[in-house]
Chains A and B, each alone.
Chain A
Amino acid sequence: MNDLEFKKMISRKQDHIRNGIILLIMAVIFVISLLQMNIDMARIIRGMESVAGFVRAMFPPDFSIIPRVWPLALQSIQIAIMGTVLGIIFSIVLSMLAAKNLTPIPGLGIFLKSFFALTRAIPALVWALLFIVAVGLGSLPGILALAVNSIGMLGKVFSESFENVDKGILDGIRSTGASGLQVFTQGALPETMPALISWSLFRLDINIRYSSILGVVGAGGIGWELVRASRMLDYPAVLMITMIIFAMIYAVEQITSYARNVIR
């Protein structure tokens, strides 16, 4: 084999060209995106200055607002817990009806699963807005919004867990003449319990995150304080509230993660 043939054989020019083009296109789209949003260099520099000034104004954080704001943080946690509990209850019922191997009505599964997808895809904050219009401000719309959003996710994963239960176990119970509901409670439910609990804790984690921001649109909790402080240009308070939100979410994350590990 001569030099030329060798060069050809080991050449990766095609790959390199392809990669280069992809990167180039991505960079071009990036620049276009920025320009379309009216973000040019001047804006970026001004932005950085604004942020720098903002950061300076935020320190030191205002600890004095803690007594006032702390109860709201707790309320956010409560809203999240209630929303999750409601979500779990409804999800268990609905997911049983949606599971192919447990549902009394065939075909209902597809309908329910699309419903789950819908409630899941619409962001919790949007649900909150809708519920506020429907039932007014306060913690109720927040709880409902989280519950509905949770059903979207838990309904899906619960029904998948049920459908993955060993067919043999369910058939065994069915063959004794048990009703559909009994097959569910005595067979599917115990088998999937660890997974259900794990998912529920995971959802609680997510709901705490959402709960902290639901207040932003008026659905109760600490989010409202955040917006208020930023509107009043009380930046040290903004920093303090952000830190509280962070601490809240982080703490719950660690707890649920620990709990999920213990469940093995």
Chain B
Amino acid sequence: MSENKPLITVKDLHKTFPGGTQALNGVDLEVQEGEFLVLIGASGAGKSTLLRCLNGLNSVTSGEVEIDGVRVDQLKGKKLRALRRKVGMIFQEFNIVKRKRVLDNVLHGRLGYYGFRGVLGLFTMEDKKQAFNILDRLGLSNQAVKRADQLSGGQKQRVAIARSIMQNPKVILADEPVASLDPGSSDKVLGYLKKICHEEGITAIVSLHQMEYARQYADRIIGLTEGKVTFEGTGDDLDSGAIQELYFEAEEDEE
């Protein structure tokens, strides 16, 4: 990996929710272009909050978030939408429109590039073909015109991935993408995700709570505990000592 300026920079990020919960307590992070980065940590450690701060779904209490030279934490309105085009997001619950066809869901990824025609759903033939191609690369060409709710969980998540790829993004954020899937589908989904990100040169930040997947797929692993980065390294560095620190010390502090 070349030592260029990192694609994503997070400086001293704090996020406190209205109820008083301090989700992020000073996170510092740098992500290089093309990395497949995995975030791990216990529930409530702040993985989801961190990801959502990266595309503005969560506002920032203090600190800086920079993606490709743009300060995300200061964006609003049209500029925020413009940034979101370049940042894809995949959710644990898939969040695809179940009543629409698979192909239509993938096309939703282009909405940020359309204006009024997007409201009416008038996508170009080129975009439709590209959507189909992406589905093909993810092994879903046979499902393209089916209604999305007819697909299995793993397939639905792949549709979500296709939707993100359709955005032609620089970054894809994945918030516990396989938490709702069985091990077989999880492997498939993570495999496809890594492959297509690699092929397209997309940087990926994926939050997971399964250690094995982290070791297997990550280029680099970042561990969060109570809103702070407490681990940074490769899969090999993630030994039982490190895991102990990440998960069990948090529990001890509770009592």
Contact = CB atoms under 8 A, between A and B. Distances in A.
Interface stretch (B38-46, B81-89, B124-132, B243-251): B124-132
A9 interface: yes
A7 B145 contact: no
Interface residues of B, number: 7
5 contacts: A6-B128, A7-B125, A9-B145, A10-B128, A10-B144
Interface string A58-91: 0000000000000000000000000000000000
Nearest to B132: A6
A9 B129 CA distance: 11
Given A9-B145, A10-B103, A10-B132, 8 more contacts: A6-B128, A6-B129, A6-B132, A7-B125, A9-B144, A10-B128, A10-B144, A10-B145
The 5 tightest CB contacts between A and B, nearest first, are A10-B103, A10-B145, A10-B128, A9-B145, A6-B129
Interface of B: 103, 125, 128-129, 132, 144-145
Interface in A1-21: 6-7, 9-10
A10 B103 CA distance: 8
Contacts of A7: 125
| Most B Cβ at <10 Å: residue of A6, A7, A9, A10 | A10
Nearest to B129: A6
Nearest to B141: A1
B135 to A, nearest CB: 11
B44 to A, nearest CB: 33
B254 to A, nearest CB: 35
Interface of A: 6-7, 9-10
Secondary structure dominating the interface of A? helix
A48 B132 CA distance: 53
A9 B132 CA distance: 11
A9 B125 CA distance: 13
Contacts of B145: 9-10
Contacts of B103: 10
A10 B129 CA distance: 10
B156 to A, nearest CB: 19
A9 B102 CA distance: 13
Contacts of A10: 103, 128, 132, 144-145
A5 to B, nearest CB: 11
A233 B44 CA distance: 67
A10 B132 CA distance: 10
A219 B132 CA distance: 69
A6 B132 CA distance: 9
A231 to B, nearest CB: 51
A79 B125 CA distance: 67
A6 B128 CA distance: 9
A6 B145 CA distance: 11
A9 B146 CA distance: 11
A19 to B, nearest CB: 13
Contacts of A9: 144-145
Contacts of B125: 7
Contacts of B132: 6, 10
A214 B125 CA distance: 62
A10 B128 CA distance: 9
